[in-house]
Structure 1
Amino acid sequence: MPGATAFPGPIGNAVEIATERYAAILGASPSKGARSPVLWNAAFKAAGIDAVMHPMDVTAGDLPALVAVLKADPRFVGGAVAVPHKQALVPLLDRVEPEAARIGAVNAIYRDGGALVGANTDGAGALSQIEELVGGGHALRTRRALVLGLGGAGLAVAAFLAGRVTELTVANRTRATAETVAGRLGAMVADWPVGADVLSKIDLLVNATTIGHAAGPEGSPVAEADLAALPASAAVYDVIYQPDVTPLLAMASARGLATRNGLGMNLDQAVIAFGKAVPGALEMDAVRAAMRAA
C-alpha cells in the first residue's frame, strides 16, 4: 500500500497506517469480526475524514505499551475497547469521564490534546434498546431485572438500569464481584448459575456474558428448563449480536417472549463514541444514518 507505514505497537495482527488520522478498537481479537470498524469507517467516509478504524489484537500484558504508543501518536483520534480490556484500560488513561469512573470500565477512548480520555457508552446504548423492548421508560420502571455477567458491558448495563427498574438483581461467576457491584448499585445478588427459583421472580433478563457466542445448549447462560420459569410477560435482552440469534434468544423466542439482541446497542454506543473522538464532524443523526447503512 503506497504511503502506508507498519503500526509500531505491540499487537497480534498486521496493521498499516495509510491515512492522516486513524482510530482503533482494542481487544483480545477484534480482527476476527468486530463490527466497530465497519461502523466507524462508514462515518469517516460520510464526514469526508481521511481516517480508518483498525482492529488491534492485544494481550493484557502488552496493553500498557500499546496505549503509550497510541498516546504518543497525534494521528490517533480514539476508538473503542472490547473484551477483556474494558476495566484494565482505566488506570492506563490520563483520565476517565465521571460516568465511566462510577462504572469502573471504559468502552471508548478519545484524544483531548495530548491526553487520552476514557468513556463508557455501552450503558446508554443498551438502555435505549431495552426501553424500546419493554415499551418505554415508564414500562421499564415496573420491571424486575436480572443482569448476568459483570464484565465491562454488564457493569455498564447494570449501572444504567439501577434506579430505573423496580428491582435489580445481578449474578456473576465470581460472587465477590457480584457482591461488590450490588453494594455499589443497591442491587441484590443471585447465585451462579441462576435457577428457576430466581427466574420466576424476574421479568427482564439481560445477558451480558460472552457465553452466547457458542452454539447449542452450552451457548446459553441459563438452562432451558430454568428459562421456562420466566413469566410469560418477561423480556430477554442479549448484548451479543454475533450470532444475531443466540441460543438464549432462540429459547426465549420459542416461548413467545419479547427478545432483542445487542446490534442496536452496538450501533448507538458507536455513534456516541464517534462523536467524542471527532467532535463536530457530523450531526449525530447523520452519524447514525451512515453507520446504520454500513
Structure 2
Amino acid sequence: MNQPYAEVIGDPIAQSKSPTIHRFWLEKSGIDADYRHCHVTAEGLAEYIAQRRADPDWRGCNVTMPHKQAIIPLLDRIDPLAARIGAVNTVVPEDGALVGYNTDAAGFLEPLQDDLAGQHLFRMARIIGTGGAARAIIAALADTGHVLVVAGRNVDKARALLDELDPEGEHHVALLAHFGSETDFAFDDRKGCFDVVVNASALGMVGQPPLAFDFSHVPPGSVCYDIVTAPLETPFLKEARARGFRTVDGLSMLIGQAAAAFEKFFAAPAPRDDDAALRARLTA
C-alpha cells in the first residue's frame, strides 16, 4: 500500500488553502499521509468518484465549488445535517460506502462556542447573503436558538431559504439595501442577549463589489463575523473593530471546518495548539 492521502476537489482549485492547513496538521501530528488538491470539472466528477472508490489509499476529499450539490447523487449515504443543508463539503469512505458530510456549519460555529455555551435571554443573528455558504450558516444559527434576519437582493429567495432550512422558526427577511442605509432604530437593553452580524456573502472579497453596510444596524455588544478570506481584514471587519465590536474573520471558519474534516480523514483530532503558526503560514 502507498502513502494514504486525502484531497480537495473543485474547479478552479489551485487557490485552495486546504492543502496548507491539512499538511500543517499532518506534520504536527506525525501522521504519514498527504493532502493534495485535484482539479475536477463538472464533466469529470462522476469519473473521479468511480476512480477514488477503487483506491485503497484514498481517505476522502473536501469538496468546493461547484460540486457541493452535484456530488450528492454520486454518494451512498448523506449525513442528515448535510442533507438538510443541501450541500456536501466532505466525503469519506466508511465500511465500503461513500458518505457525505457538511463540516461548514460546525466550522462556522467553532469561534462562537464559548458564547453559545452560556445562557441568553435572546439570541439574534443578522445574516447577509443567500448563496451556498449562507445555507450552512443559516442552519447552524437556527439550531443554536437564534432568531434570524436574512438579507439578500431577493427577499423571496431569502424567505424560501428560511422556510426550507428552519420552517418552524420565527425568522425575518430584508433587502440587502436595507442594511446599507442608516437606521434610527433604538436598540433595547441587550444585557443577557447574544447578537451576531454575519457577512455570509462574497461582497467585500477581492474582485467583488464592496459590502455596503451601515453600523447603525448593529446592536451593542454584537460579534461581527465575515467569512471572506481575501482580504482577511475586510472593510466590514476593520470598521467593526474600530467601533469596538468583537470580530471573527474568515480563516476561523475555514480552519474550523477543516479540523472537523481532518478527524474524519485521518482518525485523529487536528492539533490545534499552534493555530497562530498555521494562520501565519496561511497569510504569508
Give the TM-score taking structure 2 as reference length.
0.80
For residues 130 and 183 of structure 2, what CA distance do their matches in structure 1 show? 18
Tell me the equivalent position of 2:198. Answer: 206
Alignment of 1:43-192 (within 5 A): 43-132=25-114, 135-138=115-118, 142-184=122-164, 185=166, 186=169, 187-192=171-176
**Identity within the alignment, %:** 36
Contact 1:171 1:189 in 2 (8 A): yes
Structure 1 residue 198, shift from structure 2 partner? 8.2
| Offset, 1:239 | 1.6
Cα contact 2:3–2:34 (8 A) shared by 1: no
**Is this contact kept in 2: 1:78–1:108, CA < 8 A?**
yes
Partner deviation per Cα, 1:194-225 (whole Å, 9 max, x = no partner):
43478957942111212232279x332xx14x
Return the letter of the residue paired with 2:264: K
Amino acid at match of 1:61: E
The CA deviation at 1:88 is: 2.5
Q: Which residue of 1 aligns with 2:266?
A: 278
Gaps of 5+ in 2: 188-193, 279-284
Q: Quick check: 2:77–2:100 contact (8 Å CA) kept in 1?
A: yes
CA gap of 1:77–1:243, structure 2 versus 1, over 3 A, is: same
Superimposed CA distance per residue, residues 247-274 of structure 1 (whole angstroms, 9 cap, x where no aligned partner): 2212222332221112222222212111
**Does the C-alpha gap of structure 1 residues 20 and 97 become closer, same or farther in structure 2, counting only changes over 3 Å?**
same
Aligned residue identity for 2:206: A
8 Å contact 1:140–1:165 — kept in the other structure? no
More divergent stretch after superposition (197-206 vs 244-253): 197-206
Give the TM-score normalised by the residue count of structure 1: 0.78
Mapped to 2, the partners of 1:141 and 1:119 lie a distance apart of: 32
- Which blocks of at least 5 consecutive residues in structure 1 are unaligned? 1-17
For 1:182, what is the secondary structure of its paired residue? helix
SS of residue paired to 1:138? coil
2:251 maps to 1:233: no
**1-structure distance, mates of 2:50, 2:92:** 14
Aligned to 1:169, what secondary structure does the other structure show?
strand
Count of residue pairs the alignment pairs up: 266
Aligned to 2:246: 258
For residue 173 of structure 1, report the CA deviation from its aligned partner.
Answer: 4.1
Q: Tell me the SS of whatever aligns to 1:50.
A: coil
- Counterpart secondary structure, 2:38: strand
Quote the RMSD (CA, aligned, Å). 3.0
Please state whether the residue corresponding to 1:59 is helix, strand or coil: coil
Following the alignment from structure 1 to structure 2, what is the Cα–Cα distance between the partners of residues 252 and 290? Answer: 26
Q: CA deviation at 1:97?
A: 0.9
SS of the residue aligned with 2:272? helix
**Letter of the aligned partner of 2:224 in structure 1?**
V
Decide which of 27, 40, 63 is 2:22's aligned counterpart: 40
CA distance 1:140–1:120, change in 2 (3 Å):
farther
Contact map agreement 1:199 1:230 (CA 8 A) in 2:
no
Q: How far apart are 1:119 and its partner, in Å? A: 0.7
* Code of the aligned partner of 1:277: F
CA 1:199–1:35: 2 relative to 1, 3 Å: farther
Aligned 8 A contact 1:175 1:191 in 2: yes
